[in-house]
Structure 1
């Protein structure tokens, strides 16, 4: 029996700063979803008397769907380790929500094992991944609804900004764009026209 290649992936949450992973360890410190996947895959490997000598974390490019580009990136990583069985959590529920068709197709072709996204004990408490994703979807909706409030905050802060370097001023105050990106001269100019 082959050992496992742990594959972990999630969506970015730009408005809270989740926009990149340095490595798997970093991913587990900034993403509860990745931490959950890693714990579950390592538990499964131990129950099968197998190890996880390789693992990789991937961050989608879209905040609300799986993309073929990231599915290709994951498939490329798996191809480099033919000595291992890829294993990942299947987050889709019966209604098809959060299903990543492209990734699933590529991983089936690679002989991957899929583990169900079952509730588990994580960080000292019970963690239900499906409920977690639904909560984030609601928070994203709430965040989108706060766009006008965000605009008022930025305009108020700009009253005290120097005439030059206003984008840098907002960034120093950690008042980012509504989508969580740093201000540039160009996106601030567009924001002020809006």
Structure 2
């Protein structure tokens, strides 16, 4: 039986506070519809073509709207195992979604690797209890991402007001970050508050 590795990736969604991903594939699929879609598509493909899916690799980008060089370490590690075990990489090629920006670093890696890459079309997936259409999904994502970006001044003002209220009680920066996260007060970027970024935020706006 020929061997294969499934590669699933996604972007963070800051306006939904989705900024990290479990390392377990099935757990990741529970919190990310995009990961679940890729998992379903690739597992179905492997079963249909009698492939032994020896590994499933997941990756979350660090920026909500672009690919980064960070993905290269994950791809390089996957490449080593695939070469050792003579395995094909299977991905869902989201660059085929209309107006979707390709992941430059990943595309370049695919072009220079010696591995066999099987790229699946991002067709809609419909099951008895679940469905996912990448074209509709990413169109809605772009709309909401634009709304999020345009609302940054309002979000920043609200965060500054609340941070100043809490800091007036002589709270430490670490405790302040913990309190803002507990209250689900979003940072301007949508990332979780930390001691360092809340300190910089207040200093910048002092």
Range into which the TM-score falls when normalised by the shorter chain: 0.7 to 0.9
TM-score by length of 1: 0.84
Where do 5+ consecutive residues of structure 2 fail to align? none
Gaps of 5+ in 1: none
Query: What is the distance in 2 between the residues matched to 1:72 and 1:92?
Result: 21
Structure 1 counterpart of 2:147: 142
Equivalent residue number for residue 129 of structure 2:
124
Q: Contact (CA 8 Å) 2:89, 2:118: kept in 1 or not?
A: yes
Paired residue secondary structure (1:52): strand
Would you say the 8 A contact 1:147–1:178 is kept in 2?
yes
Looking at structure 1, the residues matched to 97 and 171 of structure 2 have their Cα atoms a distance apart, in angstroms, of 54
TM-score w.r.t. length of structure 2:
0.80
Matched residue, 2:10: 10
Structure 1 residues 146, 50: closer, same or farther in 2, change over 3 A? same
After superposition, the Cα gap between the structure-2 partners of 1:94 and 1:22, relative to the gap in structure 1 and judged at 3 Å, is closer
CA contact (8 A) 2:124 2:132 kept: yes
Deviates more, 1:148-157 or 1:29-38: 148-157
CA distance in 2, matches of 1:8, 1:17: 16
Q: 1:32 to 1:95 in 2, by over 3 A?
A: closer
Q: 1:135 Cα deviation (Å)?
A: 1.3
1:191 correspondence with 2:194: no
C-alpha separation between the residues in 2 aligned to 1:96 and 1:157?
A: 38
Counterpart for residue 164 of structure 1: 171
Equivalence map 1:9-28=2 (5 Å): 9-15=9-15, 16-28=17-29
How far is 1:73 from its partner? 2.2
2:123–2:134 CA contact under 8 A, matched in 1: yes
1:156-177 CA-to-partner distances (Å, cap 9, x unmatched) read 5346522323333323322131
Q: Corresponding residue for 1:88?
A: 91
The CA RMSD measured in Å over matched residues stands at: 2.5
Q: Contact 1:18 / 1:30 at 8 angstroms: preserved in 2?
A: no
Per the alignment, residue 52 of structure 1 pairs with 53
| Farther off after superposition, 86-95 or 155-164 | 155-164
**Distance of 2:146 and 2:128 partners within structure 1:** 26
The count of aligned residue pairs is 194
Superimposed CA distance per residue, residues 110-148 of structure 1 (whole angstroms, 9 cap, x where no aligned partner): 111111111111582431112212211211111112223
Structure-1 separation of matches of 2:47 and 2:53:
9
Please say if residues 86 and 107 of structure 1, whose CA atoms lie closer than 8 Å, have aligned partners that are also in contact: no
User: 1:189, 1:154 → 2: CA distance?
Assistant: 13
Q: 1:62 to 1:74 in 2, by over 3 A?
A: same
Give the match's secondary structure for 2:52.
coil
- Cα displacement (A) at 1:39: 0.2
The 3-state SS of whatever aligns with 1:169 is helix
